[in-house]
């Protein structure tokens, strides 16, 4: 059985950093392979994980559509097939699997940019099927979502066991987190557990902020401290996955993972 952990939150709250620490914890403490899905066009999960990224799913999709248009214009392949007779599903399956960035314990798929002009319904259906089928072969899938829940709402992934909604330590950030949490009730996808994670907290949580959290419609899973060493990694471009186990950021994420995966 595959356990899916998704991260959501407004831009700039540190979802990608936390996703990297979740993957680090799983790789060090849980058996089985891990698939990371970078579903945020603005994020760089591959840099956090220290992996080279050659292709994104968005680039593969656009390349396929260009080939189909060119072939049809020249009187070539029929609708639904690629030049050479391969189906669109076969084309996507091959190219997405070969685009995987592979680590020692985890692989990465980057979704890349969203759709351009035109109808993508059939293509996205095939994409969902390919990624869904790939996910079944991993023990864990970790999804770094774009701001909001767009990829989950388009069912780019399967059902989610644990949704971590990340906020900065402000009431404005927590209001956004609550709005994202409310969206999960409107999605045609099962989310078993949802939590809020307060990131980049300096010192203890202020009483006003804690009072606000206690009134939210989802539990506080934990807080992540601000860490100057983490900032040094980000400035230098060093992979965050190489943070030492003694890092307060990693330690806080480890405690959260122990709690939800026990």
pLDDT score, position 225: 97
Which strands, in side-by-side order, build the sheet including 101-102?
Answer: 101-102, 106-110, 34-39, 140-145, 3-8, 160-167, 191-201, 220-225
Q: How far apart are CA 239 and CA 236, in angstroms?
A: 9
pTM over cut 0.85: yes
| CATH number, position 115 | 3.40.50.300
Q: Which domain holds residue 136?
A: 3-56+100-261
Q: Using CB atoms within 10 Å of the CB of residue 69, give its burial: 0 to 12 exposed, 13 to 18 middle, 19+ buried.
A: exposed
Domain count, the chain: 1
pLDDT score, position 119: 47
Question: How many other CB atoms are there within 10 angstroms of residue 93's CB atom?
Answer: 19
By DSSP bridging, strand 3-8 and strand 34-39 are unpaired
- Structure-token match 């391969």, residue found: 86
pLDDT in tens, the chain (262 residues): 899 999 999 888 999 999 999 999 999 999 999 999 998 887 789 999 999 988 888 888 888 877 777 766 665 555 556 666 778 888 888 988 988 999 989 999 998 876 555 445 566 777 788 888 899 999 999 999 887 665 555 545 568 999 999 999 999 999 999 998 888 877 777 899 999 999 999 999 999 999 999 999 899 999 999 999 988 998 888 999 999 999 999 999 999 999 999 8
Would 236 be classed as within a structural domain?
Answer: yes
Would 23 be classed as within a structural domain?
Answer: yes
CA 240, 38, 256, 226 dihedral sign is positive
Would 249 be classed as within a structural domain?
Answer: yes
- Structure-token match 């799983």, residue found: 26
Would 106 be classed as within a structural domain?
Answer: yes
Q: What angle in degrees, to the nearest 10, is found between the helix axes of 57-73 and 88-98?
A: 140
């Amino acid at each position: 059985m595959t356990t899916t952990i998704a991260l959501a939150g407004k831009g700039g709250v540190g979802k990608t950093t936390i996703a990297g620490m979740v993957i680090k914890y799983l790789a060090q403490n849980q058996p089985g392979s891990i698939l990371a899905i970078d579903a945020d066009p603005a994020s760089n999960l591959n840099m956090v994980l220290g992996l080279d990224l050659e292709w994104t799913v968005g680039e593969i999709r656009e390349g396929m559509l260009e080939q189909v248009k060119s072939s049809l214009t020249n009187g070539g392949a029929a609708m639904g097939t690629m030049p050479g007779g391969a189906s669109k599903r076969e084309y996507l399956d091959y190219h997405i699997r070969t685009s995987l960035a592979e680590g020692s314990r985890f692989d990465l798929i980057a979704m890349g940019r969203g759709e351009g002009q035109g109808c993508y319904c059939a293509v996205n259906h095939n994409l969902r099927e390919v990624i869904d089928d790939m996910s079944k072969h991993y023990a864990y899938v970790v999804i770094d979502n774009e701001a909001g829940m767009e990829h989950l709402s388009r069912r780019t992934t399967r059902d989610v066991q644990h949704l971590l909604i990340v906020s900065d330590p402000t009431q404005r950030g927590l209001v956004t987190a609550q709005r994202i949490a409310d969206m999960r009730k409107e999605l045609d996808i099962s989310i078993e557990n949802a939590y809020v994670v307060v990131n980049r907290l300096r010192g203890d949580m202020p009483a006003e902020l804690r009072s606000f959290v206690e009134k939210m419609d989802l539990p506080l899973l934990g807080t992540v401290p601000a860490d100057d060493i983490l900032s040094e990694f980000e400035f230098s471009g060093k992979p965050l996955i190489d943070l030492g186990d003694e890092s307060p950021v990693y330690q806080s994420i480890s405690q959260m993972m122990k709690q939800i995966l026990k």
